[in-house]
Amino acid sequence: MSIRVLVTLLMAVAAVAVGGAPAAAHGPVPGGDTVLAQTIAGMEVTLAVRRVGEVPGPLRVDLIPHTPVRALPIEVTVRSGTSAGATAGSFLFERDVARTYPLMLAVRDQGPHWLELRAGGEFSQLPFRVQVPRAPSDLWVSGAFGAAALLLFGAFGVAAAGSRAIAVVLGGGAGVALVVAGTLAMVSPALPGAETVPAGTGPAGRPYAQAWIYSMPARPAAGKDFTLRIVLVDGSTGRPLDDLVPHHQALAHVVVTSADGAIFRHVHPRRMAPGKLEVRLATPEPGPYVVNVEFERDSAGSQLVSGRFEVAGPGPVTSSVGRVVLPTTPREVFATRPVSIRIDSGPGRVQPWLGMAGHLIVRDSRGGFLGHAHELGSMDTDVAPPDDTVPAYDPTLRFAFTFPEPGRYFVWVQYARELRITTLPHVVDVRAGTA
């Protein structure tokens, strides 16, 4: 085998070795904060589980309620998924005071954990992982692979220049570095403080889930509280799902709209048990409602499921909810042709909510299509978004969207300022056309 072929093969091995796994596009960064939205006790709350520096060690949990805020005690408990024991704490939300409410708890080990919330007679159990910063052994592994890559590139260069003897020396050094890196990589998972990858995760993916969506009672009354329940089971085994992961800073996004598009709710249900999600709602008007639920399973993509329920009451009801025509460029909207959307949110910078400066949610008039888009200026997935309390984004919100078919669409734009979520309803009539 020639030196050039040998160097090329070693370079290929090094490239595979040093190439990191792609980061999850919608989930938390490993070893970083875990941020989850939760609708509980009639409030929209963002929970931020801060990164842990060491175990055993302190764990900071920040709760950020969005206006309106109720005067309500909140109990928070952290439980390990692999060992016994728990730590708990509580505090009081102040009426109409939207701010960060910090709580210091403790963790004793790495791996899966549960964050339990109790407020206003409601309960939720949210999963998160404790992962400390990389151990020194991991840094040595990365350094050894990096040295191997540099030596290989040097060997290739001098070999191309005709210096075979130097190329052999550099190639040999690269081989030694690869052996050292491989040995450390095999040994480091067994070192104290190293977390192993949980069984069952990986690139194989998961089958689609099946969903049952219904209200309790079956036909709630207009203006009265009721529970919307979502039951999710694995499409292959029929067992309850226990592998939901954060997707755009929530375990699930639930969009509830009246058939005529006049009523809109975007909420984040409580996790009651594996595959069982619930949220308390009240709708002011009777009639049929459409439910869309978006979620993501571990090692799989996102999925959208839908359902319907009926609200009892006198009718017909004529909605007084105002709508404006969606401002698009170009002004005439054709199916399958992308358009630009520009929304002026008013004076003052906006805060992130669900990791973005703004959200655009689209539903067709029949209730069979739901789409969404994120504000373009805040879609940098390489930069962690700031806390919900930080006014970080320009008040002019920009979106891009393509409507799939002609017809009338209902469009809602959502953003947050001073921890108050604003929803702007729009309509757009899409004409028939081809791209």
Same domain membership, residue 44 and residue 114:
yes
> How many C-beta atoms lie closer than 10 Å to residue 406's C-beta?
15
Contacts of 384 (CB under 8 A, 6+ apart): 29, 32, 33
Same domain membership, residue 306 and residue 214:
yes
What ranges make up the beta strands (E) of 57-139?
A: 57-65, 72-80, 86-93, 101-107, 111-119, 122-130
Residue 200 lies in a domain: no
> How many C-beta atoms lie closer than 10 Å to residue 205's C-beta?
10
Strand partners, 83: none
What pLDDT, on a 0 to 100 scale, did the predictor assign at position 318? Answer: 55
Q: How far apart are CA 124 and CA 89, in angstroms?
A: 15
Residue 318 lies in a domain: no
Contacts of 382 (CB under 8 A, 6+ apart): none
Query: Can you give the residue range of the structural domain that contains 238?
Result: 209-311
Angle (nearest 5°) at CA 330 between 326 and 336: 85
In the chain (435 residues long), the average pLDDT of successive 10-residue segments reads 47 43 49 93 97 94 97 96 91 96 95 96 96 62 62 60 64 61 53 43 69 97 97 95 95 97 97 98 95 94 95 70 88 97 97 97 96 94 87 97 97 98 97 76
What pLDDT, on a 0 to 100 scale, did the predictor assign at position 158? Answer: 56
What pLDDT, on a 0 to 100 scale, did the predictor assign at position 5? Answer: 46
Tokens of 61: 């949990």
Same domain membership, residue 7 and residue 152:
yes
Contacts of 359 (CB under 8 A, 6+ apart): 266, 353, 372, 373, 374, 375, 413, 414, 415
What pLDDT, on a 0 to 100 scale, did the predictor assign at position 314? Answer: 82
Domain of 89, CATH number, reads: 2.60.40.1930
Residue 203 lies in a domain: no
Residue 336 lies in a domain: yes
What pLDDT, on a 0 to 100 scale, did the predictor assign at position 194? Answer: 45
What pLDDT, on a 0 to 100 scale, did the predictor assign at position 153? Answer: 59
What pLDDT, on a 0 to 100 scale, did the predictor assign at position 207? Answer: 85
Same domain membership, residue 161 and residue 18:
yes
What pLDDT, on a 0 to 100 scale, did the predictor assign at position 132? Answer: 87
Task: Assign 188 to helix, strand or coil.
Answer: helix
Contacts of 304 (CB under 8 A, 6+ apart): 292, 293, 294, 370
Domain count along the chain: 4
Same domain membership, residue 284 and residue 145:
no
Same domain membership, residue 46 and residue 175:
no
Same domain membership, residue 427 and residue 328:
yes
